[in-house]
Structure 1
Amino acid sequence: MTKSISELLDTAGGQAVAVVRGIEDEQLGGRTPCSEYDVRALVNHLTQVIVQFQALGAKRDADFTQTPDEVGRGADWRERFEQETRRLVEVWAEPGAEEGTTGAMHFPARTVGHMVLGDLAVHAWDLARATGRDLVIDPAVLAEVTAAYEGLAPTARQAGVLGEPVEVPADAPEQDRLLGTLGRDPHWRP
């Protein structure tokens, strides 16, 4: 049986919240597998993604033009991240959230849900790796994101949202292959 986007987001969100809660303040300036972001900027970016995809899940317009400094708003940024992640799951659990289209590009709502699911799962991996930890993406989330990004990756790469793929062996674990598809070196270390 296919899981709903909200169920998958709940699982991926739980993993992301655990990673974010484990980030020490002195790690915020550290490098990440996303070369354009340090840890602080990636937490801010992921929080923005979560908030904007709440709007998209509710069939409202999103605004990605500015990334607020959530980490700079005070010591409770980890708690706010958890609250926004919980809201994301709630919005996508509403009846009709996965139906129709959403966003300015009028993508199918489930496709938009896959986008935020991928960001949540992979950026949690990025943050875990950047802070010296490993994250094994939940198997159901991994399977869903892998299947979705077979179709999404070329378009996302063309739009400049993804980097060039990183070559990994064909017999590598599924998580490594997904990370390579999304422009990550699965063996990256800080």
Structure 2
Amino acid sequence: MCERMRATQDAECGARLLDRAIGFALTAVQGIAPHMRARRTPCAAWDLDMLLLHLGESLAALHEGMTTGHVATAAGREGPPDDPVSALRVRAVRVLRASAALKTVTVGNRRLAGEALAGAGAIEVAVHGWDIAQATGERRPVPPLLADDLLAVCPLVLPDPPHRPLFADPVEPPPDAAPGDRLVALLGRRPLR
């Protein structure tokens, strides 16, 4: 991760971190075929279709925050798309295009620095990209350098455990866990061996 982000939460570094997380998630959705959308995910109550819709909504909220400086409630959003994979891809590209223009964002009644929004968004996107990779059977881990950078950002943008309702309670990773396994364990997923 950029040294400047560690010290000052530099917006350019936040945008690059988000871009890398989106790249990982877009790679994970490449393997989705229509018949897979009913598969279970590591998120206990969700199937792949629900996860795709959630991640698409998260990307829409990120884009809204980056382009308007405000994130509205979910009530103001569009209905579910017919093709959640295509919709997710379109929303991801919109976020990639907007990520260079990070600014302060209002979420509800709170103000959030753009780089914090990017960091939180990167965690959300990467971990759900991992969820997608598990559901499709690819078992792709979060890349080690991305996971290390996201682990460094977690204490800055996530509440102390427990992370509910954002993520499940942390689980203990194996002692020799790779960075990606430590990241998903921190956010309530059991790393798959």
Scaled by the length of structure 2, what TM-score is found?
Answer: 0.82
In structure 2, C-alpha distance between the alignment counterparts of 1:129 and 1:67, rounded to whole Å: 28
**1:24-43 alignment, distance < 5 Å:** 24-43=33-52
Residue 99 of structure 2 corresponds to which residue in structure 1?
92
Q: Deviations over 1:153-181 (max 9, x none)?
A: 43573551111111113432111111111
- Quote how far apart the aligned CAs of 1:93 are: 0.9
Q: 1:158 to 1:180 in 2, by over 3 A?
A: closer
Residue 74 of structure 2 corresponds to which residue in structure 1?
64
In structure 2, C-alpha distance between the alignment counterparts of 1:153 and 1:45, rounded to whole Å: 18
Q: 1:150 to 1:24 in 2, by over 3 A?
A: same
Q: Is the 8 A contact 2:144 2:178 kept in 1?
A: no
Q: Deviations over 1:44-92 (max 9, x none)?
A: 000000011111122122323468322xx14xx4333222101101111
Structure 2 gaps, min length 5: 3-11
In structure 2, C-alpha distance between the alignment counterparts of 1:113 and 1:87, rounded to whole Å: 14
Greater than 6 Å deviation, 4+ residue runs: none
Q: Is 2:169 aligned against 1:164?
A: yes
Structure 1 gaps, min length 5: none
In structure 1, C-alpha distance between the alignment counterparts of 2:184 and 2:21, rounded to whole Å: 15
- The aligned length equals 181
Scaled by the length of structure 1, what TM-score is found?
Answer: 0.83
- What is the identity percentage for the equivalent residue pairs of Structure 1 and Structure 2? 26
Q: Is the 8 A contact 1:44 1:68 kept in 2?
A: no
